[in-house]
Structure 1
C-alpha cells in the first residue's frame, strides 16, 4: 500500500484532481477510535454492491515509526460514513468537513479552468501556424488561376474537424465547447497538419493535391492514434 504523510492541519487535501480526507482525521475530529472507524468503513465496503463508494486503503507512519493502515475517501464516501455520527459536535464537524470539500473542489475547478484557458491560447497559436500553411495552398491555387482559392480555409478546417471528431457539420464556436483533452489532441493534429501542408506545397504542381494528400495522411494517422467522439447536440 502507498504510504502518505499525515496532515492534521487540513480536513481535506487534493490528490490527482480529487479531494480526499482520511479515516484518521475522521476518527480524531469525531472522537472515535480509529480501529472502529476502519471497521465501519470495511462494513460499508462489504455491502456496497454497486461500488458507489470510494474508500482506498493507504498506510501512514505513526509516532512510533510503524506503518499503519487507514482509508482515504471522497466527499460522498465521507458523507455516508459520517451519516451514523450523531450529536451536536458531530453535526458541527460534518458541516466543517463538507465546507472544506467544497472549498478545495472550487480551488481545483479554478485551476482546471486556468489550464483550459492556457490550452485555448496555445491552441490559437497553433491555429495561426495552420492558417499560415493554408495560405500557401491558397497562394498556389490563385497562381494557377483558381477563382475559389479562399474556400480552402474552410475546407481544411472541416477536413481536420471531420477526421478528429467524426463530424460532418461543425457548430458555431466549436472550439469553445471542447474540453482540455480534446483541445490538446486537436492542437497536436493541427500542428501536424501544418507541417504536412508545408512539405506538400513544396513538391506539387496541382493546387488540388495538398488537400488530398492531407486527407489521406490524416486518415492513416488517426486510424492508428484514434479519433474522439464528441456530442455536439446540446
Structure 2
C-alpha cells in the first residue's frame, strides 16, 4: 500500500499502518493513540476498525478519515512531520476531489478492472470491453506480452503468446531482426509509449555480470492493443 490516502467505503481514508510507516512510529503506539481517541464518543465516528494480513496472520489496524487523521497527527511535531502532514492534506484533497467528480483514478491493475466493471453497470449503451480498455489505460501497472495475450483471450480474441509476439513483430511494434534486440520494442513503439523495457542485472559464479531485458506492456499499450483487436474482431455490416 504505497498511497497516502485510499478510497474505502466510498470515502477518502488512510490507515494506522500507513501513518506508522510514513511518520516513523511503532504501529502499536499508533494503535494505542487511536484507541484513546476512539474512546471519546465525539471522535469515535472518525475511526473504523480493520485488519491487515502479514505472513498469513491477521492483525488489527484502523481506517480514519481526514478528521481522524487531523486529530491523530496534531501531536506529531518536527520539520519532517510538518512536511508529511502537508503531503497528507494534499492527498486527501486530491482523493476527495476525485470522489466528488465521480471519477477515481485506479492505482493498480485490479482497481482498473473494478472501475471498468462499475462503469459497465452504470452506462448500458457503452460496450464493457471498451470500458475495460479505457480503465486499463489509467493504470500504472505494466504486464508481460504473455499476460496481454491472456487478456485478449478473455475478451474473445483467439490468440496466444507466440502468435501475439509474431503479430507484434510483423506489424512493426517489436524488432524482427535476429540478435540481442530480438523482440525488443521498435523506436516507433517507444515513441508511442506502448512498451517499457525492464533491465535486470544478473551476477554469475565466475564474477561476470549480464543484463536481462524484459519487455512490458504499459497501461496505454494495453488499451491500444485491446482496442485494436476488438475493432478487428467486430462483425462487419453490409
Larger strand percent: 2
Scaled by the length of structure 1, the TM-score of the pair is: 0.43
TM-score of the two chains, using structure 2 as the length reference? 0.42
Q: Which has the larger radius of gyration?
A: 1
Q: Which has the higher contact order (CA 8 A, sep 6+)?
A: 1
